[in-house]
Homo-oligomer: A and B are copies of this chain.
Amino acid sequence: MSELPSRVSLREVGPRDGLQNEEPISTESKVALLDALSGTGLRRIEAVSFVHPRAIPQMADADDVWSRVRRNPEVRYSALVPNRRGLERAMAAGFTDLEVVISASDTHNRANINRSTAESLADLPELIAAAHEAGASLQLIVSTSWGCPYEGDVPVERVLWVAREGVAAGIDSLAYGDTTGMATPSRVIRLVGETRSAHPDLPLGLHFHNTRGTGLANVYAALQLGVDDFDAAVAGLGGCPYAPGASGNIATEEVVFMLEDMGVETGVDLEALLEVGLMAERFVGHRAPSQVLRAGPRTRTVAAP
Chain B residues with CB under 8 A of A303: 150
Judge whether A295 and B258 touch: CB under 8 Å: no
Judge whether A243 and B295 touch: CB under 8 Å: yes
Chain B residues with CB under 8 A of A290: 213
Near B by CB (< 8 A), chain A positions 255-275 give 257-258, 261-263
Q: Majority SS of interface residues in chain A?
A: loop
A251→B182 CA distance, assembly (Å): 17
| A197 is an interface residue with CB less than 8 A from chain B | no
Judge whether B213 and A292 touch: CB under 8 Å: yes
Stretch in A9-17, A85-93, A120-128, A218-226 touching the partner: A218-226
Judge whether A213 and B258 touch: CB under 8 Å: yes
Judge whether B189 and A1 touch: CB under 8 Å: yes
A295→B213 CA distance, assembly (Å): 10
Near B by CB (< 8 A), chain A positions 209-249 give 210-217, 219-221, 224, 240, 242-247
Distance from A80 Cβ to chain B, minimum over Cβ atoms (Å): 21
Chain A interface residue number, banded: 35 or more
| A187 is an interface residue with CB less than 8 A from chain B | yes
Number of this chain's copies in the complex: 2
Distance from A271 Cβ to chain B, minimum over Cβ atoms (Å): 14
The answer to whether residues A294 and B246 also contact, given A149-B302, A150-B303, A220-B185 and a CB cut-off of 8 A, is yes
Residue of B nearest to A236 (CB): B213
Judge whether B301 and A149 touch: CB under 8 Å: yes
The answer to whether residues A152 and B220 also contact, given A212-B292, A291-B211, A304-B111 and a CB cut-off of 8 A, is no
Residue of B nearest to A291 (CB): B213
Distance from A156 Cβ to chain B, minimum over Cβ atoms (Å): 14
Q: Mark interface residues in A144-160 (1 if CB within 8 Å of B CB, else 0).
A: 00011111110000000
Contact pick for A294, options B182, B219, B244, B261, CB 8 Å: B244
Q: Which 10 A-B pairs have the closest CB atoms?
A: A213-B254, A243-B295, A213-B291, A246-B294, A186-B262, A246-B295, A216-B217, A150-B304, A184-B261, A182-B298
Q: List 26 A-B contacts (CB under 8 A).
A: A1-B2, A4-B186, A111-B304, A147-B298, A149-B301, A150-B302, A152-B298, A184-B257, A184-B258, A184-B261, A185-B258, A186-B261, A186-B262, A186-B263, A210-B291, A211-B291, A211-B295, A212-B292, A212-B298, A213-B215, A213-B257, A214-B254, A217-B217, A217-B258, A243-B296, A247-B291
Which positions in A face B, CB cutoff 8 Å?
1-2, 4, 107, 110-111, 147-153, 180-182, 184-187, 189, 210-217, 219-221, 224, 240, 242-247, 251, 254, 257-258, 261-263, 287, 290-292, 294-296, 298-299, 301-305
